[in-house]
Every structure is written in structure tokens, then in C-alpha cells.
Amino acid sequence: MIGNFINNIRKQGLFLKLFLVTLISIVTVSLLTLAITISMSEKLFLQTFSITNGKLLNQMKTNLESYNNIIATGATMMAQNEAIRNYLSSGETDAVNLAIKTYHMTEGMRAIRSNLSAVDVGIMIVGVNGRSYSTDPWYWDISADELMAHPITKETISHPDQILYQLDLRENKENVKEPMLVASKALFDHSTGRIYGTMYVAIRDRDFKPFYANFTSEGNDVVLLNKKGLIVSSSKTEMIGLRDKKLLQEVEDGGKDGDSTYVMGNERIVFSEYLPEFDFYMMNLIDKNAVTGQMVNAKAVTLTIMAIVAISLIIVFLITRKMTKSLRVLVKQMSSIPTGDFDNHVDVTNSSYEVKELGNAFNFMLDSLHDYVDKLMETQKQQRNAELAALQMQINPHFLYNTLASIKFLVQQGNKEKAAGTINSLISLLQNTVSDVHSTIPVSQELESLKHYVYINHVRYGEKIRVNYFVEPESLDYHMPKLILQPFIENAFFHAFNLKDEGRILIMISVQEEQLVCEVVDNGDGMDLDPNLLEEEQLPASKHKRQLFSGIGIRNVDDRIKLLYGERYGINITSKRNEGTQIVVTLPLLKN
């Protein structure tokens, strides 16, 4: 009996060797993986996180500097506005003259508010003569008398050459404390040095947070700390208004970024960046326990590895015992297949069931691999086409030159309001264009970009070609790829009105049959369409040599849509001579 058992073991030598080697390998690798993962993850975390967080802090700093630049521009415009200075400093009591001064002051404030239209703020001015004006009295509920006695004003007057950013924690009408970050600047006459008023730009904390809070996550908080240790803004609202001298001391003592310290009751990793424009410290506080706990769940990893080991051993035991007998035959057939010949299948006619299945799977794998290689080649071709199309999605420098020249001409004419509007449109257009071209944006944002583009063209070429927008409100929150509609507006402007001197372009966006439908219709010259072409090459040459904005081809837009969402979406063009052209773009309904 013992002899028969030994003989059976000998016959199963290959099986036992494979099983034992597999068992030892799986257990060893699993244990080593678990130990190394837990130990090395924490060691590498700080190094990796420091690099990533450095980039995030730079991005946050850039966003905040952009906001400061807007405030500084508004302060400069206000200081240079003679109408505002007269309104705040004169002692005029005549009703007619006062009304005239009030009118001119209001026009100046309207231009300044337009410069700040990119952010939701409230602007208020108070003069030494007791007069005041607010662009939005309901935004910041405070009277001129209260403001004149407020510590914000006292601090501002003591630093007349600076823009100061200070926190206001007054209660609103609902008796709820709503943090306000107030940018204030003393207005003074440079010739006499006399202060004639004060400018205040207030922004709610919930409107200010997006400049940095979009980069935070659970256990990853950002605070803005002034030189007095007061938290003036934070991704956590409950921290605003608190003072933390220890946190301020940690920064002022020159602590190294990435060091761990106990602040606010927890061990936190601190990264900091000084913002000279605000005179704030921007601090990124990482809850070490929360972050490392999310990074590696030792219990879950252990249970997962144990389950994988158990399942693997069972499968290896069952399959190895049945397949070892005829495995060599299959291996021999497989090894005889020439490299790269996907049509040379193995013969499993007289093999066991397991080997037949493996052989059939191998043959199926060859067929799938063949198909995959073909699809990969096609995908690479499409990728190359997409890359070539992406190269065209760049701003034509001549467009910038000519637009800037138009702005210069407006300034020389003294049309500052229109020049400012053109600059704002160009800035918004550039911001939308140079960001990630693969991301999607809401229809409302794409519509704003179109309006800015149309505004610039009207400034440059006049308003003979009018543009009207008909957009369903429910479609504004749906997302679409960037720069989808701009090429069609561009073509309509520069190709549709060669024979006619004026006309109309309609932009219609709606939701139809579970699709986002965008239409661009003009009543221009029209054209005879070649069904084999979907490119500007069949459009007539423009009678004016105008520099385009980007030069994105219609076919590139169509290929881009089909590559992203499938063949059911894309572009359809209809046109008739002397009647106009209609372009219909269909997209899926996307919320993000």
C-alpha cells in the first residue's frame, strides 16, 4: 500500500513541483508585497506629495495673483478718473451741478465695474465730503457712516499707498455671519498728497474660495493667514476668523515645507507660500493620518491578498493536476508557430479536454491579437490625424496683432470704454482657448466665448453682420468640447458674405431627442455643396483678406466629435445659393 502511494507520487512529480513552486511563490510574493507596500508608501508619500503640492500651490498663487491684478487695475482706473475725484472731494451743493457730477461719476464707476465683471464683487466708494456710492448695496450690507468708523478704513488710511485685504465678519440681515474679504485703497491727489476718498471691493468668501478651494480634498485644507495670525479665508468655513499664533510662528520661523507639526489639534504636514500682493501666507495643511489612512488600508489589503492566494491555490491545484499529461504536446505545437504568423493555429483534435480548451483559447487569442493589431494601427492613424488637427487649434498671431491694433486705435480715439470691453473679451477668449483643449465646458461658457469673439469682430469690422442667440435655458448646464462652434461662426463671418455687405447669423442651441443640438444659420451667399467634402476648401475665397482666430477646419471638428462620442454624432451642413447656410452640430447630453 505504501509502495503504491509512492509510485503515484512519482507519477505526479511534475504536478507536485508546479503546485509547490506556485504555492511558495504566491505566498512569498503576497507577504513581501504587503510589507513593502505599507512601509514604502509612507516613505515615498512625502516626496511625491511635496512635488505635486508645490505645483498646486503655484496654481493657487497664480489664481490669486490674477484676482489681485483685477483689483489693482480697478484701483488705478478709479484714481485716474477725474469725475470720481470731483464727486468725492468737492463741496458742491447746487442740485444741477451735483446731478451732473453724479452722472459722470456713475459712468466712471460703470466702466470700473465692467473691468471687474469676471468676479462677483461689490464696489463702494466713500469721500471725505461724506458722499458715497455702491455698485450693489445689497451685496455688502454696510452704510457709509459705519464704514468710515470701521477698522478697515482706519488701517487703509494709515497705508495710503497700498491695497489692503482685510476680513469683515459682520452679520447680514439674516443675522448670519458671512465672511467678506475686503480690498481697500485710499484715493489721494498725487499733486497735493491729500486723501479725498476710499475705495472698497468686497467679495464673499464663497465667491473667493474657488480661486484655491478646487484643489483641496478630504484631509487637505488651505488657509490664508495674515501677519496677525488671523485666518481670513479657508476651504473650511468654520476656521475663518480664528487666530492661530502657533501656525503663524511655524511659517515665520522658516519651517521646511513638508515638515510635520501639531496644529489645530492634529498632526499635519504644512506647505506654505507667501503672497506679497495680499500680505498673506497661503498654507496647505495635510492631515497626515487621514491621508495615509486613505492611501493604504492595511486590513483591506491583507484580506484581499489572502483571498487572492486562496483562490489562486485552488485554481492552480485543479488545473495543474489535469493539464500536465498533455501539456507538453500543446507546448510543442505552440513553440512551432513562427513569430508573427497569426494564422498558424495549433491542432488540438486528439488532445484532452483541458488542452483543447487551452488550445482553442490560444487560437482565439491569435485571432483577437490579429484584430487588435489591425485596430491599433487604425487607432494610431486616427491619433495622428487628431494630433495634426490639434496643431491647428492654435491662436493665429495675426488675429492678436490686428485686435491689439484695433484697441490701440480706440484708445487713441478716446473710446476707453469700448477699448476696455475689447480687452476684456480678448482676455476671456484667450483664457478659454489656451487651457486644456480636451476638457469639456458648459454651454454657457462656450456661449460667452462666442460672444467675446463676435464682439471683437464687430469692433474690428463693424456691425453689418449681426449675430443673434436663441438658447434654451435647460441646455446651458450641459457640457460640450471647447471650440466646437467657433469655427462655424468664423466661417460665417469671413466666407458667407462675399456678395452681400450685411446679413445676420443665428446661433440656436436646444435639447432635442436626448441630444444637444447646436445650429449656426446665416442668410449669406450660400454655396453648392459637394457631398464628398466637409472642409473650407469648397467655400468661396473671402473678398477681404482677414486674419482668422484659429483656423480650425470643419472636418477636424467633425472628426473630433466622432472620435469622442461615436458616429451617431457630428456635423450636418445644408446650403443654397443666395439663400444662406445652415450647420447643425449634434452632441450627447453631458453633465460634466
| 1-35 burial code (b ≥16 CB/10 A, e <16) | eeeeeeeeeeeeeebeebbeebeeebeeebeeebe
Mean pLDDT of 334-350: 63
pLDDT in tens, 150-193: 888 999 898 888 899 998 887 766 667 788 889 999 998 878 87
pLDDT in tens, 455-472: 888 888 888 889 999 999
The terminus-to-terminus CA distance of the chain in angstroms comes to 72
| Residue 561 pLDDT exceeds 80 | yes
Categorize the per-residue pLDDT at 322 as very low, low, confident or very high, splitting at 50, 70 and 90: low
| Residue 410 pLDDT exceeds 70 | yes
The pLDDT of residue 478 is: 93
Least trusted range by pLDDT, from 157-161, 397-401, 516-520, 541-545: 541-545
Mean pLDDT of 398-411: 75
Pick the residue with more confidence: 313 or 101? 101
Least trusted range by pLDDT, from 96-110, 257-271, 315-329, 532-546: 532-546
Q: What is the number of helices (H) and of strands (E) in the chain?
A: 16, 17
The pLDDT of residue 383 is: 64
Categorize the per-residue pLDDT at 583 as very low, low, confident or very high, splitting at 50, 70 and 90: very high
| Residue 4 pLDDT exceeds 70 | no
pLDDT in tens, 210-262: 888 777 777 778 888 888 888 888 888 888 888 877 777 777 776 556 666 76
Categorize the per-residue pLDDT at 8 as very low, low, confident or very high, splitting at 50, 70 and 90: low
Categorize the per-residue pLDDT at 557 as very low, low, confident or very high, splitting at 50, 70 and 90: confident
Categorize the per-residue pLDDT at 539 as very low, low, confident or very high, splitting at 50, 70 and 90: very low
Q: Which three cell numbers, joined as nine digits, stand for 407?
A: 484697441
Mean pLDDT of 330-357: 64
**CA quadruple 271, 275, 279, 281: dihedral, nearest 10:** -10
The pLDDT of residue 589 is: 92
Pick the residue with more confidence: 485 or 213? 485
Residue 14 and residue 36: Cα distance in Å, rounded?
32
Pick the residue with more confidence: 124 or 413? 124
The pLDDT of residue 260 is: 67
The pLDDT of residue 540 is: 46
Residue 326 and residue 344: Cα distance in Å, rounded?
20
Q: What is the mean pLDDT of the chain?
A: 78
| Residue 92 pLDDT exceeds 50 | yes
Residue 544 and residue 350: Cα distance in Å, rounded?
78
Using H for helix, E for strand and C for coil, what is the string for 51-113?
HHHHHHHHHHHHHHHHHHHHHHHHHHHHHCCHHHHHHHHCCCCCHHHHHHHHHHHHHHHHHHH
Where does 513-589 show beta strands of DSSP type E? 515-522, 570-576, 580-588
| Residue 547 pLDDT exceeds 50 | no
The pLDDT of residue 172 is: 65
Give 305's contacts (C-beta < 8 A, 6+ positions apart): 30, 33, 34
Least trusted range by pLDDT, from 53-62, 98-107, 519-528: 53-62
Percent of the chain with pLDDT over 90: 11
Pick the residue with more confidence: 370 or 265? 370
Burial class (CB in 10 A: 0-12, 13-18, 19+), 541: exposed
| Residue 585 pLDDT exceeds 90 | yes
Of 523, 520, 426, 511, the closest CA to residue 469 belongs to 520
Residue 200 and residue 123: Cα distance in Å, rounded?
6
The pLDDT of residue 239 is: 84
A 10 A CB-CB count for 353 gives 11
Mean pLDDT of 272-297: 76
The pLDDT of residue 385 is: 55
Mean pLDDT of 470-490: 88
| Residue 508 pLDDT exceeds 70 | yes
Q: What angle do CA 506, 512, 513 make, to 5 degrees?
A: 160
Helix axes 486-495, 554-565, angle to 10 degrees: 160
